[in-house]
Structure 1
Amino acid sequence: MDEAVIPVLRVREAAVAVAWYERLGFAERWVHRFEPGFPAFVEVARGDVRLFLSEHEGDARPDTLVYLRVRDVDAVAAEFGVTVEEAPWAREVELRDPDGNRIRAGTPTD
């Protein structure tokens, strides 16, 4: 097993959040509920990158920032209709998911 860090993001509706993250290249891996009708806890993945999306109120705070290093920030910008910004370390975009979590995606300049 490889060790990893997996950010947990608070979401109100997991299905809505998963659909948004699919636009960012993630795919749903699994969903857990303790019982039908209980809050969902979902894993989404983009290659080796994982995120947990949780409807559980105590799991994470809204307005979290996650940095996602990507190969092609221009493709991300085109998908979301945003402008790529130039930083000394990367070309970046900043997005907000439907729950207000911030995703900064960037392609390193070198």
Structure 2
Amino acid sequence: MPEQSWSDKRERQYKEIKSSQKKRGASTDRAEEIAARTVNKNRARSGEAKSASKSSTRGSSPQKRGGKRSGNRQGPGGPTKDQLYNEARKHNIKGRSSMTKKELENALGR
């Protein structure tokens, strides 16, 4: 419980998120960080925090977003040509250097 100014509701929320992250295999430190960030963002969105950034007050809540911004860098068009090329190199596909993105996708069976 990092913050003394949190309400009982926020304390329960923190404990629940931390517990959930631990069940998913996160380390204790990482689980505490995620829980604290989520609770603080929710406090900012509801006006409980003294200050809040624009990114904290706009957009969907962390619970609704559900990791949509995490690590996935493929974007709406799928993987980039470079990503496909690297995958083709791992699979040792011949002629990959002269292939287009579409040809790489076909060669990889996408």
Q: TM-score, normalised by structure 2?
A: 0.28
Q: Which has the higher strand share?
A: 1
Q: Which has the higher helix share?
A: 2
Largest Rg, 1 or 2: 2
